[in-house]
Structure formats: C-alpha cells, structure tokens
Structure 1
C-alpha cells in the first residue's frame, strides 16, 4: 500500500516537474534573446535533451545566418535529430552541413554522419533495398574522400553489413523464383537468371553452393516441362550447370541429387537424339516414295 502511494506521489512530482519545465521552456522561446536561446540550446545539448535543444537550434538557424554561431548551430541540430533516431532528417541535415561548410573542421565528421544516418535508416533484408544501396554508396564515397579517416574501420564494417543485406535479399529472391517454379514455367527461367546474377555479384558467398545446385535443378525441371523441340538444348544446359557445380563443390551434400539429374538428362538427350534420327530417316523415305517411279523416255523423230 505504501509502495502504491509512493509511486503515485512520484508520478505527480514528475508530472509537475514536466509542466514546470515546459512552462520554463515556453517562456524562454517567447522572451529570451537570440544569445540567451543559443546558450540554452547548448545547455540542453550537453544534458542530452535532444528534443528541446533541437527546437531551439531549428529556431535559431535562420536568425544566426552569417554569424560565427551559425555553423555550430546547424552541426548540433543535425546531431539532435540523429540522437532522436530521425535518421532520414539527420542525413539531410548532415549532408547540407558538409556541402555548405566544406572547409569546416567538422566537414569530414558531417559527411561520415550523413552516411551513418543512411546506414541506420536502411531496412531489413526482406524489404526494398533502395535505401541500402544509397547508404552503401554514401559510405564508399566517404572512404574514397577520406581514405585515412579515423572512421575507416567503422565505415568498412558498415559497408560489409549492408552488402550482407543485399546478398541475403538476392539469395531469397533467387530461391523465391525456384519455389514458385512449379506454378509457372517462366519462374524456372527467372530462377536461373537470378542465380547467375547472384553468382556474378557475390562470387564468394556461402550461399553459392546451394544456389549452384538449384540452378541445375531449375534448368533440369525447365527441360522436363518444355516443348519437345526445346528439351534437348535445355537438358544439355542442365548438364553444363552440373559440370560447373561438381567441379567447384565435389564434396557437396547436394551431389547425389545432382548426379541423378545429370544421368536422367543424358538419357533424355539420347532418347531425343534417336527420335531425331528416326524422324530424319522417315522424312527421307517419304521423299523417295513421293518421287515418280518411271520417268518417260526421250522421244526422237524417225529417219526417213
């Protein structure tokens, strides 16, 4: 019971303190000079009261334009938004800062924080990765501009993490095409194309073994479900993918499954080749049968 009373009392005190604080801040906004507001903004910033500091800096930036305080007001304002996890806004503010104050001692840090803001705003791998690409590009640009930066290790780590997101996204996309292939033959083709793109973009990925096998499977399944006129070519393609797979992963756990597809492809190619030979023989036979058996002899005039 006493604990409940204490909790209520503490809540009332906090509420009262909040109201007093709001009242004091409102008074500051209405009556204080620009100099007083700037000092107050710095104090809020030091206390990590990002919200109130951000409000004051935002209000002061147009007024301080051209003054010595203008540069720092914009720099701190960007940080207040970053620390409130408003990453899209902070990225805009940091970018504006290093473009406006390119010679500032804080320009490098601002460019770094612009990239970090984009990194923080990058979505999970299962969502659209446009922002991830933008963040990766910004981080790479920062490294290119400042190769000896103190932030190099952190930047490299973030780039690798973002690339892993892109890698996972591409992997899931390729697998999704494969999973839906049974419902749409075009998905077999899309699966093979996606896997080829993945292997090109991520040659060292740990997913490549599985995807190399799935490429064999997708091409083999595509051949099975194709028109007979296209089957031979596609079985041959499946065998080529198999050879690439087994050369690179001779001890793969998918090897036995892949071998069955290879052997089946070879049998189908042999069967289709025999059919082609038989049809060609039949075609030639029909031509012979259609030709006239006896041609009329040449008529010559009798001598007189």
Structure 2
C-alpha cells in the first residue's frame, strides 16, 4: 500500500514538473526576453546532447530561430550561431546545417570551432548526396567541401573520416559514369550506334578513372561492344572494326590475364581471328 502511494506521488510530481516546464517554454516562446530565451535554449540544447533527444533539439531550435538575428555581431553571437547550426545538423536538416555552418565560417573566421564547422558543413553535403543514378550536384559539392577541410586541416581530428567519405563519393561518381556507358552497351543490339557510344564512353571512363573498382568491367564491356559492333557491321567496315576489337581484347588480357571475363574474351577473340582470315 505504501509503495503504491509513493509511486503515485512520484508520478504526480513528474506530471506537475512537466506541466510547469511546458508552461514556462510556451511563455518564453511568446516573450520578448531574448536573454531568457538564450539561457533556456542553451539548457535544452545541453540536455538534448546528453540524452540524444530530438524532441529537445527541436524545442531549442524554435528558441534559437527567434533570437539568432538579435545576437549577430554581439559577444554571444559566435556561440549561439554554432549551436544553431549544430542543432540543424543533429536533427538531420542538412540543407540548413550546411548553410548555417557556412555562415558561421564567414562570420567568425577566428573561432576555435572553425574546424568542427568546416567538417560538419562538408558532412552535411555528404549526407545530402543522392543515389548514384540521380543528379550528383550535391555529391560534387560534398567532395569539394571535404577536400577543402583536408587542405586546411590535413592532420585534423576528422581527417580520416573525411578521406573515407571523399573516397566513397568518388566511387559513386565513377559508378554513375560506368553505368551510363554500360547502358549504351546493353542497348546496342537494338541500336547499333549505341555500341560506338559505349566504346567512346568506356574509353573516356578508363582514361578518367585509372584506379576505379569498375575498371575490369569497363575493359571487358568496351571490348564486347567493339566485338558486337564489328560482327554486325557491313563487310566494308568489318575488318577495321575486328582489328580494333582485337586490340581491346589484348589490352584486357594484358591487365587481367585471369580476370572474371577471361573465358568470354578468349572465345570472342578466337572468333575475331577466324573472321579476319577471310580478309
């Protein structure tokens, strides 16, 4: 009986505390007291960090949004601007976090939070980078920002993470370029001109991405595009195209003598040599 009464009392106190807290917060939202809003918003922010609470970050953000303009250029403005940007970041609103971190960098170029702001701005663009098959504007921006961070802080706290993210994003761009070329190859049977487009695209890809994980695939599909183009050509064009395909075959075998596509390349190469004997 006593324990039940204690539990009810504790619950009642918690409810009353929450009610008072919510009432205080709502009153502050309508208040013109910027100092009180600053103090309470910072308390909410610190609690949100300790508890990893999205709810408290959102509550702090509403107060920050009201007072940030009033503190620009004032001594408290530097800290407030960083907390404001980082709140967006913690809430996953990466468009606004990237914007606010950029604004912080421009406004406070001597801040001791400058490195963290540069990294989180770059990380924001990294988080905005879409699937490889979509527009990659944010991916290019993220790579540029990550590289800017690495150039400025080569031994920085987040240098390893920044390098890893930049490498991941470059592979994403390579995949997009590779998949475009491969699509030309896959549609070549329906439209012969696409085989030529595939050859050109794969050649450009190999030139632009010497260390790509898609390099062997690109070598093979360039060869196969050339082979398919040759064997489906008019006779007057066939010899030259067979010889070109043979060159691509030799290049594949040079770099990948025991590669994934070795058997397919060898079979097609034998067919090319057989056909060339007729010329």
Give the TM-score normalised by structure 2: 0.85
Structure 2 distance, partners of 1:243, 1:15, is 78
User: Are the equivalent residues in 2 in contact too, given 1:122–1:129 (CA < 8 A)?
Assistant: yes
Runs of at least 5 residues in structure 2 that lack an aligned partner in the other structure: 1-13, 49-55
Cα distance in structure 2, aligned partners of 1:21 and 1:176:
59
CA deviation profile, 1:127-164 (whole Å, cap 9, x unmatched) = 22221111011101111112221211111111122122
Match of residue 226 from structure 2: 219
Match of 1:36 in 2: 36
Query: Is residue 185–residue 221 contact of structure 2 (8 Å, CA) maintained in 1?
Result: yes
Bigger Rg over Cα: 1
2:189 is paired with a residue whose SS is: helix
Tell me whether 108-117 or 247-256 shows the greater mean CA deviation: 247-256
| Residues 171, 212 of structure 2: 8 Å contact kept | no
- Structure 1 residues 227-260: Cα deviation after superposition (integer angstroms, max 9, x where no partner): 3332222111101101101111112242232123
Partner Cα separation in structure 1 for residue 260 and residue 141 of structure 2: 37
Aligned counterparts of 2:81 and 2:107: Cα–Cα separation in 1 = 10
1:188–1:218 CA contact under 8 A, matched in 2: yes
Q: CA deviation at 1:15?
A: 10
CA contact under 8 A between 1:98 and 1:108: conserved in structure 2? no
Aligned counterpart, 2:274: 267
Using the alignment, how far apart are the partners of 2:204 and 2:19 within structure 1? Answer: 59
In structure 2, what is the equivalent of residue 120 of structure 1?
A: 127
Q: Could you tell me how far apart the structure 2 residues matched to 1:226 and 1:141 are?
A: 50
Q: 1:243 — aligned with what?
A: 250
65, 76, 87: which one aligns with 1:80: 87
Name 1:135's counterpart in structure 2: 142
Which residue number in structure 1 is paired with residue 11 of structure 2?
none
Q: How many residues align?
A: 260
Counterparts in 2 of 1:184 and 1:29: CA distance versus 1, 3 Å: same
When normalised by structure 1's length, the TM-score is 0.79
Gaps of 5+ in 1: 1-13, 274-304
Distance 2:227 2:15 in 1: 70
